[in-house]
Structure 1
Amino acid sequence: MASLLLIPLDDTVIFPTMDVTLPVDVGDEDRVLLVPRHEGEYASVGTIAAVRDSVRLPGGARGAVLEGISRGIIGAAHNDPMGKLRAEVTESPDATPVDGRTRDLEREYRAVVDELLELRGDDGRIAGFVRSIAEPGALADTSGYAPDLTFEQKVKLLETTDVTERLELALEYQRERLTQLQIRRRIREDVESGAQKQQREYLLRKQMESIRRELGEDDASFVDEYRRKIDESDMPEHVREQAEKELARLERAGEGGGSEAQMIRTYLDWLIAVPWGVTSEEKLDPQFTRETLDGDHFGLDDVKDRIVEYVAIEKLRRERGIESDKKSGAILTLIGPPGTGKTSIGESIAKATGREFVRMSLGGVRDEAEIRGHRRTYIGALPGRLVRALRDAKTMNPVILLDEIDKVGADYRGDPTAALLEVLDPAQNSTFRDHYLDLELDLSQVLFVATANQAETIPGPLLDRMEVIRFDGYTVMEKTAIARDYLFPRQRERNGLREGEVAITEDLLRTIVAEYTREAGVRQLERELGTLLRKTATRIASRTAQEQEEADAITIDLEQIREALGRQKVFQEAAARTAVPGVATGLAVTGVGGDVLFVEATEMAGKGLGGLTLTGQLGDVMKESARIALTYVRGHADELGISDDAFVDREFHVHVPAGAIPKDGPSAGVTMVTALASLLSGRPVKHTVGMTGEVTLQGRVLPIGGLKQKVLAAHAAGITDVILPERNRGDLDDVPQDVREQMTFHPVMTIGEVLEVALEPATAPVRAEA
């Protein structure tokens, strides 16, 4: 056993008989140990190498020329006094076996290597080198020269000290490489043979067609099949002419006419797939329509009334023989927060009118070809989604739901919303032209129903073509009724429970609505009910069969609700938030419905006259509202009972919490004025008051949008007084009657009226100094 300098080789394996030059300084060492290393782990066997020469490498570094001698089994390692790593090494020279198996392995190895070199196209030098090796151990090591072997395979070969086992391992590796090369060669030959065969078949096919034309014969079975399908289809005349024109082209190209024939056949397949002249028999019964819609959805009277009106008008037209005007098609757009039933009502409309239903999701669509189709000059061209929708519906008068139309994008591939301008215009969609079919399609019989979360992201020209019906969300009472009549029975069935097996009171349903959800829709409410019933189903399933038969129906109580759903998630926090001056409760509309925002204002020492800092990811509109608010309060300080000194050497900070959420919109002006006025006057804002409205520099309160959604959010948050612009007084008719009865509304025209209602009475003199 010898102590040798250990030189680690990262992801590199050096075998005995290999020569290598390494950028290392070996000093006076005669021999060193080269050990492979991967991610800090050393191999158990290294290569003992003799130092043949010391050289200077490019760049001035010292290097050593090393020659592998034999394997070395690594023992204990330690650092010498010079700090160099050394290891105790037991040399393991290759023993020359004399048994016949080793000689057989050696002969087979040489044969496999010769075959490998033949496939690789060796010029004879490598083959001569392999033939010159007489020792079986060194012969096995030559497989380590192959670049195809992984680092792990090379290490395993190095650590195999028995020569016979090493030959077996090397032979296994070389056979794997030979198999891979043979497969690659076979694939290459198959591809070349296939190309030659295709070319030969093409020439023979052309010769066959020429002979058939000379003999007056024609195998037209596939053409006859297409002709029969065209005759059976109720195509309009202009479509039939186009189909026959393409069929004549296919007939000239022949059934095996290459890519052109395949393109024509695909086009004809699409022409035949469109249900030309096929329409569903509509149920024109207004009473049945209303009953169907009421059975599927609670509330939503606006959209239900509009569908009933559509059915009633169509019924009168047909009974009185009045020709239907193609420009009078119904295109409804349902705009509202998620979970309010916009998508599901499309299916109910189809069921109520006896039409087929097709849903087209437009969220994220950025390619205009998705609507109009690709032109046939492109490889892989397809018709647009509307043609595919008609094919799936198998009728020309389905209900097509254009889901998430507000999330359509635009990029270099075109603007899909521009293509929808023609689709959703009753004056144009009777002659809609798909780029792939290149024919006019009559979409006037289709009942289009579009859905969106907000109207602001829909382009103005497109929105102008739509009949907008707004879904502004549900009140607590409506959510409770929906949970009782729709959601609870549906979740009970989905969780495998029978009708009389579990029950819950309406009061507890209202508790779940009020304490676990604050959404405009009912999607989260259904999830909470699903969680509650899953827990209940688990309890029932854990009983024995006899216990289930003897047990009474489970009536869910408050304790079970807390156990299943956890602690209360929604709180009415207006009172706590507005307890100190400088905090006002504002009302806003987001993409998921109405919401309550707390605007906070504070002051600090500073230089100058009333600097302003804004935080909370506010948009440009809200930033301008904050600056207007500060200017108004400073300009009307005397009227508000605020000393002029309150603005000297002071800075103000306005913050809207939930800073991770971007906020913008023209309805926060009065809230910011109220927050600043409350801060500087020392009068807190009444915790029962929420407000909305924009303000001018003169203190006029401007009208806003989305009043119903804001009022519903205020009602859910426990607010009883709402300040709104006078010009929005008429919008209160949209608010449900039960909500109006529980709240007090204060229409105002000036900011003075706002502050009179919103601020608590002054209980102490307003401070006169900062």
Structure 2
Amino acid sequence: MTNIYGETEILTDNQKSFIDDIPDILPVLPLRDIVIYPYMIFPVLVGREQSIRAANYAAEKTKYIFLSTQIKSSIEDPTPADIYPEGTIAKIVQILKLPNGLMKILVDGLVQGRIVGFTERTDFFEAHIEAVFPKVEIDHEMNALVRQMTQLFKDYVKISRNVPNDTIAAFDNIEEPDRKLFYAAANVIQPIEVKQSILQKTTLKEQYYELIKILNSEIDILKIEKEIDSKVQENIAKTQRKFIIQEQIKILQDELGEDEDASPEFSKLRESIKKAKMPQEVEAKAMEELNKLKKTPPMSPESTVIRNYLDWLIDVPWSKKTKDNLNIKHVQKILDEDHFGLEKPKERIIEHIAVLNLVKQMKGQILCFVGPPGVGKTSLGKSIARALGRKFVRISLGGVRDEAEIRGHRRTYIGSMPGKIIQSMKRAGTINPVILLDEIDKMSMDFRGDPSAAMLEVLDPEQNHSFNDHYLEVDYNLSQVLFITTANVRYNIPLPLQDRMEIIELPGYLEYDKLEIAKRHILPKELKAHGLINKNVNVTVEAIRKIIREYTRESGVRNLEREIATVCRKIARDIVLKESSNGKSKTKTKYLVDENKVEEYLKVPRYRYSKHTKTLKVGSVTGLAWTSTGGEILNVDAAVMIGPGKLTLTGQLGNVMKESAHAALSYLRAHAKELHLHPDFFKGKEIHVHLPEGAIPKDGPSAGIAMAMAMYSAVSGIPATNNVAMTGEITLTGSILAIGGLTEKLLAAKRNQIETVLIPKENEIDLKEIPNEVKEGIKIVLIERIEDAIPYVFPSLKKSVKVKKKSKK
């Protein structure tokens, strides 16, 4: 066995014989989570196959084995690179095989060692080992190091909770400096890499210095931990003492019969309850909860729940209200300032204010604004609140599917809280705010209940004077609240809710309306938002009209606002670039934005603004559709080809439109003779009906007449004009039924420059409520049956004989 030692170190005869007995090549046993030093007798549990083979080999041969620690204990199958080269040469004293296949060996640490190199053995680790005898110099420095380490180790044992006190007695009986060092190092609780650092030193003084550094650091940490622990114990003792004293005070008060509150906090709560001016039964409930709070230990979770409940009862308004400004001229002025157009909603609001002037309080006035996005539903609610001088609160109902969102959570856990209605009343701070329930058509339901059913009590004027929130558990009066709801689609609002509201339709804007809104509201707001008020910027009317016609196509004005904001950003960029290059001059440069500048800023127009040509196309007609974003043009194409006699429908159609297509085909086949079609026009043929833009789902009952005309054109070969749009559901007998969304559909036709619109006769009564600006420039034709539409869709059919001749061809 080779060895490493200090220059002046001389081995004794015993050490020489000891070294000679140990082979140069030893099996290596990787250890996890432990470092074994010389002079340690320690049991090691061996479980890995490779380690078991190494232990068996050592036990059968020389009983010597090299113990080295893994660098990372988490590695299950270590490689030579994963093992520290420094370790301890040990002798196996005893070996015990356990029933579960594991092995327990008792090892005796003999001397430090170092791996010089591994052998090529594969069944277990085997390596060339050098024995390391650290140099020992007995001088004053060595004596000082031993004394200091001894004192530090004793201090460490006294402070540490994990090292038994009898360790010091065994430590005092050791005289050899190296043995004393390794005994202390083995009993210090430190990470593997820290304990391994002692084995990596080659002289005893270096090892003592390393251990002293470790002990000093650990003692400092333990002292800090002890200080923290004493502070925590002191705080706990204070809290317990305070609790005991409070309990004693309560008992004394009960004995003396005093009814005063035990602390200023309870007195303050009592005063707040009195100042809230609650109804008599609510105040009684609050006082009952206050008395319960006084008897509840402060550290109890129940105390927090009761305290939060009392805070809610105090913060919710019970009597405070704002004074209404019922001056009709003032209200009219505010509404006209904030909104252009919307005459019908404004008129309804003025009527409501007029009635309030006479009766002072009116129930049952719950308004519902229904219209496409961007037409001003939410902002109209804000204007109403501003005109009346009331507080305004908005509640978004989009995506709400838990009934507890409306009615609140029951007080069964710490995180419970009231529903959105009571929360909004707290935010408003008055009993008569304007509450806007936004997107009421987008509520959904799941296993947690139906929130729309909970809204019935809120919006029912006969019930909402005693609205009961699950959290408050007392009746709350909502009858003085002005509720306003908004929705995009009327048909998505549950019927019981519709029954409790007055529906006011807000149709889309005409080009003239958008132009005025842009000039009066959007452009000044965007110029101010982008810092262009004093920059001499002039946006022409033609520029705004170009944005409306060629860059937006919508019912509202949101996209128009975005495009104008884009133009303002481009102007701001030009101004900053010009000022940075030329410097800020005293003379202000004029920035004119005309049609050419708009195209430069917004690039290629998204929409073409051109009138429909009177080009005649076979199998292609124009329908009108209504969506949640307003009216739209619906192109319907049909083609006839040789096939097995079937109807193919494409374009992502819903079930209703598919049924309309089948009904249209059945009518054409049943009345082929009257319509001058060949009786066997469907025999051996396939009719394909397609609605372009297949990525967009389409459904609804108003496309029946359009699909019937498209099929008629395809079957007869007669071209249809695309300057006529139509809407209406059909029956198998050829009748045309009424449709909804007529205003939006006429607006869509007007936006797309369609001259003639065919609508059901049953919708004639709806024309009276449609503004003249919408009907102006459009020829509206009322039709009762499918045949009534043919002369308008097929201008070439002036006499039925021509149709018959074409069909025979």
Q: Distance in 2 between matches of 1:713 and 1:183?
A: 77
Distance 1:190 1:687, change over 3 A: farther
Q: Distance in 1 between matches of 2:676 and 2:210?
A: 96
Contact 2:743 2:770 in 1 (8 A): yes
Distance 1:35 1:461, change over 3 A: same
Residue 706 of structure 1 pairs with residue 741 of structure 2? yes
Q: Distance in 1 between matches of 2:617 and 2:115?
A: 82
Q: Secondary structure at the match of 2:359?
A: helix
Segment of structure 1 superposing worse, 384-393 or 691-700: 384-393
Distance 1:576 1:743, change over 3 A: closer
Superposed, which structure 2 residues align to 1:628-647 within 5 Å? 628-647=663-682
Residue number among 588, 592, 611 corresponding to 2:629 in the alignment: 592
Q: Secondary structure at the match of 1:276?
A: coil
Residue 686 of structure 1 pairs with residue 710 of structure 2? no
Deviation at 1:573, TM superposition (A): 8.3
Distance 1:363 1:171, change over 3 A: farther
- Look up the match of 2:420: 385
- Look up the match of 1:78: none
Residue 759 of structure 1 pairs with residue 800 of structure 2? no
Q: Secondary structure at the match of 2:759?
A: strand
**What fraction of aligned residue pairs are identical, expressed as a percent?**
39
Segment of structure 1 superposing worse, 303-312 or 226-235: 226-235
Contact 1:594 1:710 in 2 (8 A): yes
Q: Distance in 1 between matches of 2:686 and 2:209?
A: 84
- Cα offsets for 1:613-655 (capped at 9, x unmatched): 4442x22111111111221222233333433443222222222
- Residue type at the aligned position of 1:438: E
Residue 249 of structure 1 pairs with residue 292 of structure 2? yes
Q: Distance in 1 between matches of 2:659 and 2:214?
A: 74
Q: Distance in 2 between matches of 1:413 and 1:434?
A: 16
Residue 427 of structure 1 pairs with residue 470 of structure 2? no
Residue number among 292, 306, 309 corresponding to 2:351 in the alignment: 309
Residue number among 267, 287, 293 corresponding to 1:224 in the alignment: 267
Deviation at 1:280, TM superposition (A): 0.7
Residue 234 of structure 1 pairs with residue 263 of structure 2? no
Deviation at 1:741, TM superposition (A): 1.9
TM-score relative to the length of structure 1:
0.76
Residue number among 593, 601, 611 corresponding to 1:556 in the alignment: 593
Q: Distance in 2 between matches of 1:256 and 1:760?
A: 88
Q: Distance in 1 between matches of 2:130 and 2:778?
A: 95
Q: Distance in 2 between matches of 1:469 and 1:501?
A: 41
Deviation at 1:120, TM superposition (A): 8.7
Distance 1:224 1:557, change over 3 A: same
Segment of structure 1 superposing worse, 206-215 or 176-185: 176-185
Residue 473 of structure 1 pairs with residue 508 of structure 2? yes
- Cα offsets for 1:512-568 (capped at 9, x unmatched): 101011111000100000000110011112215865532332110222211211201
- Cα offsets for 1:68-120 (capped at 9, x unmatched): x998999xxxxxxxxxxxxxxxx99999999999x99xx99x99xx99xx989
Deviation at 1:579, TM superposition (A): 5.7
Unaligned ranges ≥5, structure 1:
1-11, 24-33, 37-41, 50-68, 75-90, 123-133, 136-141, 319-323
Distance 1:502 1:200, change over 3 A: same
Q: Distance in 2 between matches of 1:726 and 1:640?
A: 21
Contact 2:614 2:723 in 1 (8 A): no
Residue number among 633, 649, 654 corresponding to 1:619 in the alignment: 654
- Residue type at the aligned position of 1:694: E
Q: Distance in 2 between matches of 1:234 and 1:446?
A: 18
Residue number among 558, 564, 574 corresponding to 1:529 in the alignment: 564
Residue number among 680, 685, 689 corresponding to 1:654 in the alignment: 689
Segment of structure 1 superposing worse, 214-223 or 572-581: 572-581
- Cα offsets for 1:186-214 (capped at 9, x unmatched): 99999999888866764554234223433
Deviation at 1:393, TM superposition (A): 1.4
Deviation at 1:336, TM superposition (A): 0.7
Q: Secondary structure at the match of 1:382?
A: coil
Larger Rg: 2
Residue number among 443, 451, 454 corresponding to 2:486 in the alignment: 451
Q: Secondary structure at the match of 2:747?
A: helix
Q: Distance in 1 between matches of 2:213 and 2:759?
A: 85
Contact 1:46 1:72 in 2 (8 A): no
- Look up the match of 1:264: 306
Contact 1:708 1:734 in 2 (8 A): no
Q: CA RMSD in A?
A: 5.5
Superposed, which structure 2 residues align to 1:316-395 within 5 Å? 316-318=358-360, 324=361, 328-395=363-430
Deviation at 1:445, TM superposition (A): 1.2
TM-score relative to the length of structure 2:
0.73
Contact 2:400 2:451 in 1 (8 A): yes
- Cα offsets for 1:96-154 (capped at 9, x unmatched): 999999x99xx99x99xx99xx98999xxxxxxxxxxx99xxxxxx9xxx9x99xxx99
- Residue type at the aligned position of 2:608: F
Q: Distance in 2 between matches of 1:167 and 1:44?
A: 29
Segment of structure 1 superposing worse, 421-430 or 646-655: 646-655
Q: Distance in 2 between matches of 1:374 and 1:605?
A: 65
Superposed, which structure 2 residues align to 1:205-216 within 5 Å? 205-214=246-255
Segment of structure 1 superposing worse, 689-698 or 234-243: 234-243
Distance 1:21 1:216, change over 3 A: closer
Distance 1:574 1:235, change over 3 A: same
Runs of 4+ in 1 over 4 A off after TM superposition: 17-23, 42-49, 69-74, 91-101, 118-122, 161-204, 215-219, 544-548, 572-579, 762-765
Residue 603 of structure 1 pairs with residue 640 of structure 2? yes
Q: Secondary structure at the match of 1:589?
A: strand
Unaligned ranges ≥5, structure 2:
1-31, 38-43, 51-69, 73-77, 86-112, 119-128, 165-177, 180-185
Contact 1:71 1:93 in 2 (8 A): no
Distance 1:636 1:533, change over 3 A: same
Q: Distance in 1 between matches of 2:225 and 2:357?
A: 71
Q: Secondary structure at the match of 1:598?
A: strand
Q: Distance in 2 between matches of 1:627 and 1:501?
A: 62
- Residue type at the aligned position of 1:612: T
